Amino acid sequence: MAKSTLSFVCQNCGAAFNRWQGKCESCGEWNTLAEEDTGATSMPASIRSKRRGRTFALESLTGKSQDAPRLSSGMVELDRVTGGGFVRGSVLLVGGDPGIGKSTLLTQATSMMARAGHRAVYISGEEAVAQVRLRAERLGLADAPVQLAAETSVEDIVSTLSEGAVPRLIVIDSIQTMWTDTVESAPGTVTQVRASAQALIRFAKKSGATIILVGHVTKDGQIAGPRVVEHMVDAVLSFEGEGSQQFRILRAAKNRFGPTDEIGVFEMTGLGLREVSNPSELFLSERDLGSPGTAVFAGIEGTRPVLVELQALVAPTTLGTPRRAVVGWDPSRLSMVLAVLEAHCGVKLSGYDVYLNVAGGLRIQEPAADMAAAAALVSSLVNAPLPTDAVYFGEISLSGAVRPVAQTSARLKEAAKLGFGRAILPESARGEAGGDAGLVLNSVGGLTSLVAEIAARGTPRANREASRDGPAEKNATPPRFRRENG
């Protein structure tokens, strides 16, 4: 029998220590060390020395390789994120905030698989079978032949699923509630999560069934448990969205069988999640036309072009340190754009609060949104509405130059499909645009020319306040812009 060895394991990163301490030296988190028995799973030295490895066949690089067979889930957006459907024997990890709709999404997926004639199993470790049935009735899926169970023992689950026909889809909700007899730790600990996931992954690879593991997230948005679980699975999907918004974004952070950073868009309704085939049209459906501080950004999420509205508000501040608030974009990216505007374009924003929001709850990660954000900020500062039929995209360098971005043609085609007639893009990307987009292309070589063009159409806030004592020219160019641009 293996000797029991006690150690203190960090429940955030999985690092092990010989003694308890308040702070984990690996990840820097406080009060995350818990005592666990890590020696119960080790093999005795006498057995380890006698065990001999088995031989296996080696293959050459010249062999014929076939594409992994895929099985459609019945949901187009889910198939898009997974790379075209579920691969046999693959394991997916789905994470998201509580109440975001993970269980609803997977209930719909298993129901559609079952209705298509495949064996689909939904195992819940958090809810009773009656609670899962109530959700299915609310979604109108009570007649789907999904096999349900409320179980947390991994050994019992594997033994039950091994009987009869191999399930095509298995949902484990959630991996933090599973436990295995091979380790002597409480359910939810790092050791239990790692051992339970390893046992389920081994069953998936051996049987060919697709397993979806639901994972809880921490307050930082990271999937709870050891990071090694994300390395063990084939795909990591993140279900994002705001509670006040009806939109939900399923994003692929890792995918061994498809593109990463691919997104699927859903809309939460009373009957569950509805797929959104054209997210650009949905994000722009409530667009406020003619208002200063709004710009349409033509972005790329994975392989899909997405048009979204960027909203900016520049307001005078009464604080010593102005506020910089951003929702849906990288705050560091906003700080860089503000610094370039002040250093190279003469836009003084040190006395203004700056707010930037991505409409619709979408999170933008690519730097191509720099030019759209800069245009929205300057538009709000000088009270100059941007053209309603224009889209913006381009990366801003620290020197003030506008750099080209990838997939220019796809961005322009999506803009033309939605009725836009003009595109403001980097000058060096004009050759990649092609002539079939049907848009008027306004190339920009540097941020200074874009700022001067917007400022020439607007009235700065200082001039509007000064106009109380006397009339001012409506389209007067601000002095700071005139000094910068001659």
Same domain, 82 and 148: yes
Q: Please, which pLDDT band fits residue 471 given cuts at 50, 70 and 90? A: very low
What is the radius of gyration, based on Cα positions, of the chain? 27
To the nearest 10°, report the CA torsion of 84, 85, 91, 94: 80
**pLDDT score for 319:** 84
Distances (CA, A) of 207 to 68, 155, 162, 214: 15, 15, 8, 20
Closest CA to 169 of 253, 263, 89, 259: 89
| Geometric angle at alpha carbon 455, from 323 and 414, rounded to 5° | 85
3-class DSSP assignment, residue 184: strand
Give the pairing type, strands 91-96 and 210-215. Answer: parallel
> What is the percent of the chain with per-residue pLDDT over 70, rounded to a whole number?
85
Q: Give the other-Cβ count within 10 Å of 413's Cβ.
A: 19
- Which tokens sit at 259? 């593109």
**Residue 150 belongs to some domain of the structure:** yes
At 252-288, the pLDDT tens digits run 999 999 888 789 999 988 889 999 988 888 888 778 7
Same domain, 354 and 470: yes
Same domain, 290 and 259: no
The predicted model scores a pTM of 0.77
Render the burial of 122-134: b for 16+ CB within 10 Å, e for the rest: bbbbeeeeeebee
Q: Please, which pLDDT band fits residue 63 given cuts at 50, 70 and 90? A: low
Same domain, 286 and 273: no
Distances (CA, A) of 36 to 16, 57, 175, 227: 9, 39, 18, 18
**Residue 131 belongs to some domain of the structure:** yes
Decide if 267 contacts 248 (C-beta within 8 A).
Answer: yes
**pLDDT score for 359:** 87
Domain boundary pick from 260, 277, 294: 277
- Which tokens sit at 355? 């707010």
Mean pLDDT across the chain, nearest whole number? 84
**Residue 57 belongs to some domain of the structure:** no
**Residue 326 belongs to some domain of the structure:** yes
Q: Give the other-Cβ count within 10 Å of 194's Cβ.
A: 21
**Residue 379 belongs to some domain of the structure:** yes
**Residue 59 belongs to some domain of the structure:** no
Q: Cβ contacts of residue 248 below 8 Å, gap of 6+?
A: 100, 101, 105, 239, 240, 241, 265, 266, 267, 268, 273
Domain boundary pick from 240, 257, 277: 277
Same domain, 226 and 242: yes
**What are the CB-based long-range contacts (under 8 Å, 24+) for 159-166?**
161/121, 161/203, 161/207, 161/209, 162/203, 162/207, 164/119, 165/119, 166/119, 166/207, 166/208, 166/209
Q: Which domain range does residue 27 map to?
A: 6-48
Task: Give the integer Cα–Cα distance in Å for 316 and 190.
Answer: 49
Same domain, 322 and 443: yes
The separation between the first and the last C-alpha atoms of the chain, rounded to the nearest angstrom, is: 84
CATH code, domain carrying 262: 3.40.50.300
- What's the one-letter identity of residue 67? D
Render the burial of 80-107: b for 16+ CB within 10 Å, e for the rest: bbbbebbbbbbbbbbbbbeebbbbbbbb
Task: Give the integer Cα–Cα distance in Å for 23 and 405.
Answer: 43
To the nearest 10°, report the CA torsion of 75, 79, 81, 82: 130
Three-class secondary structure assignment of 388-431: CCEEECCEECCCCEEECCCCHHHHHHHHHHCCCCEEEEEHHHHH
Same domain, 339 and 363: yes
CA 242 remoteness from chain centre: 12
Task: Give the integer Cα–Cα distance in Å for 187 and 398.
Answer: 50
**Residue 389 belongs to some domain of the structure:** yes
Same domain, 166 and 295: no
Least confident of 13-22, 94-103, 393-402, 464-473: 464-473
Domain boundary pick from 255, 277, 299: 277
**pLDDT score for 13:** 76
Q: How many domains does the chain have?
A: 3
Host H or E run for residue 195:
helix 190-207
**Residue 351 belongs to some domain of the structure:** yes
Closest CA to 14 of 167, 276, 193, 136: 193
Q: Please, which pLDDT band fits residue 484 given cuts at 50, 70 and 90? A: very low
Same domain, 37 and 98: no
Residue 367 is classified by DSSP as G
At 310-335, the pLDDT tens digits run 999 999 988 888 999 999 999 999 99
Same domain, 218 and 119: yes
Same domain, 124 and 37: no
Q: Name the more confident of 66 and 112.
A: 112
CATH code, domain carrying 377: 3.30.230.10
Question: Is pLDDT at 206 greater than 60 in this prediction?
Answer: yes
At 110-152, the pLDDT tens digits run 999 999 999 999 999 999 999 999 999 999 999 999 999 999 9
Same domain, 205 and 179: yes
